[in-house]
Amino acid sequence: MAPFTSILLSFVLAASVISAPIHKARQLGDLQCNVDRLSIINQVSKTQSLISEVQNANSTLLDLPTQSALAVAQTGLSQVNLAVQTILDAALQNQTAPAASRDQVSDGLDAALEGLQSASKTIQDSGLNATIADAISSVIQAGQDGNNVVADCK
* Span 127-153, pLDDT tens digits: 999 999 999 999 999 999 999 998 988
- For 107, the 3-state DSSP assignment is helix
pTM for the predicted model, two decimal places? 0.80
Domain span at residue 16?
2-152
Backbone angles phi, psi at 96, to 5 degrees: -70, 130
Helices (H), 63-125: 64-92, 99-122
Would you state the pLDDT for residue 3?
A: 55
pLDDT digits (tens, 9 = 90+) for 73-132: 999 999 999 999 999 898 888 888 888 999 999 999 999 999 999 999 998 888 999 999
| pLDDT one-digit tens code per residue, 22-39 | 444 446 678 998 899 999
CATH number of the domain residue 48 falls in = 1.20.120
Top pLDDT among 24 and 72 is at 72
**Number of structural domains, the chain?**
1
Cα–Cα distance for residue pair 37/45, rounded to 1 Å:
13
Among residues 69, 68, 66, 153, the alpha carbon closest in space to that of 105 is found at: 153
